[in-house]
A and B are shown apart, each in its own frame.
Chain A
């Protein structure tokens, strides 16, 4: 085998090897989404987003209609502002309710949308005003214990 062929193959090998390392690195960071479908953006504020992660699905009636694009804390109201990247094929009315839900006890956290009856649809950059925060299990248990204790002392 002559020098040129060996050099070519070594070059190919090193290139795809380094490419693999770059892939491993990028896969970790913000891999730019490869989805080409047209999308629009919606915002929603929550008191508490619980364990919501970036790129978590947005579901309506169990069908995935979008993804969580970013999560920020509003410095004035101290609410979490979640930006949703929605599929253009699905439109939602202005009085849609967004709630943070969990699939199963240990499953992933997602945003569920319940469409309302308003004829006006949300446009790009629109804001979902009716939201329901994540259920925090510790708070729920604390509340339950508190109720138990107060009803016990009332007897």
Chain B
């Protein structure tokens, strides 16, 4: 009896591994298919514009409000910590660097995964459940070109813009708290920031990060929707997987990208 329980356990692990690997294979094939069908997303720009509206414009409020509050908290906490060492004047560079390099892309990406990614997955999953995707195939309309590619590119285009807006709102929030409320000198705040942040290594790397996160989250979102079990339960599980997987992917990718981008710049 224990032997058969053991065997069942081993079998389950094996089946799970095989399923995970084959899903990874399917995801890769799916990514290449989406890329192959991408020209049609740009050929019919109206479809992509619609998806930028749903993924980007409708995420504006949550991104901007979060950015403002994150910046204000950074301003308060940063000033409190820096002032212990008599370096409260360095608030500008502290806030600017943490927002442009890390918090802007990462927090905007996490919000994007839960706000827009989940919606994309649920939409495509429900289309699959109600057999709209099969109906399209029957009418010789490729759902990859008509449904998936515009959503993918809508997300990829929206993400860097949202991350930049997040950073700007954060800097503005830190300015409100640091300069207006606490009384850090206005010129010192901006001067330190400009002296310490370079367009080339810092701002561009932040934009590259947000672009990579946009690709990862959008791909996970459309893939989970397309791959969902065509039941109500399956769609809900797929939506959860998008948010969890997308968030983990962002954090893991962030670490990898940071290692590549900033390892040599530590002393700068």
Evaluate contact between A10 and B53: CB separation under 8 angstroms: yes
Chain B residues with Cβ below 8 Å from A3 are: 46
Is A23 at the interface (CB under 8 A from chain B)? yes
> Secondary structure at chain B's binding surface: helix, strand, loop or mixed?
helix
Is B216 at the interface (CB under 8 A from chain A)? no
Cα A28 to Cα B97 in complex, Å, equals 11
Evaluate contact between B191 and A105: CB separation under 8 angstroms: no
Stretch touching chain B among A11-19, A91-99, A128-136, A146-154: A11-19
Stretch touching chain A among B6-14, B162-170, B227-235, B236-244: B162-170
Chain B residues with Cβ below 8 Å from A29 are: 194, 199
Evaluate contact between A31 and B194: CB separation under 8 angstroms: yes
Chain A residues with Cβ below 8 Å from B194 are: 27-31, 55
Is B123 at the interface (CB under 8 A from chain A)? no
Is A140 at the interface (CB under 8 A from chain B)? no
- Nearest Cβ on chain B to A138's Cβ, whole angstroms: 18
Q: Contacts A67-B187, A106-B87 hold; do A28 and B168 have CB atoms under 8 A apart?
A: no
Cα A30 to Cα B190 in complex, Å, equals 10
Evaluate contact between A17 and B49: CB separation under 8 angstroms: no
The answer, among B46, B89, B90, B161, for a CB contact under 8 Å with A20, is B161
- Nearest Cβ on chain B to A67's Cβ, whole angstroms: 6
- Interface size, A (range): 35 or more
Q: Contacts A24-B203, A54-B191 hold; do A104 and B86 have CB atoms under 8 A apart?
A: yes
- Nearest Cβ on chain B to A65's Cβ, whole angstroms: 12
Chain A residues with Cβ below 8 Å from B49 are: 6-7, 10
Chain A residues with Cβ below 8 Å from B192 are: 53, 108
Evaluate contact between B168 and A20: CB separation under 8 angstroms: yes
Q: How many interface residues does B have (CB within 8 Å)?
A: 40
Is A90 at the interface (CB under 8 A from chain B)? no
Cα A141 to Cα B230 in complex, Å, equals 76
Chain A residues with Cβ below 8 Å from B89 are: 103, 107-108
Residues in B lying within 8 Å of A, measured CB to CB: 46, 49-50, 52-53, 56-57, 60, 85-87, 89-90, 96, 100, 158, 160-162, 164-165, 167-168, 171, 185, 187-188, 190-195, 197-199, 202-203, 206-207
Residues in A lying within 8 Å of B, measured CB to CB: 1, 3, 6-7, 9-10, 12-14, 16-18, 20-21, 23-25, 27-31, 53-57, 64, 67, 103-108
Sampled A-B contacts (12; CB under 8 Å): A10-B56, A13-B53, A17-B160, A20-B168, A21-B203, A24-B167, A27-B190, A31-B194, A54-B195, A55-B188, A56-B188, A67-B187
Q: Which 9 A-B pairs have CB atoms at the shortest separation, nearest pair first?
A: A17-B161, A55-B191, A104-B86, A20-B164, A20-B168, A108-B89, A13-B57, A28-B199, A20-B165
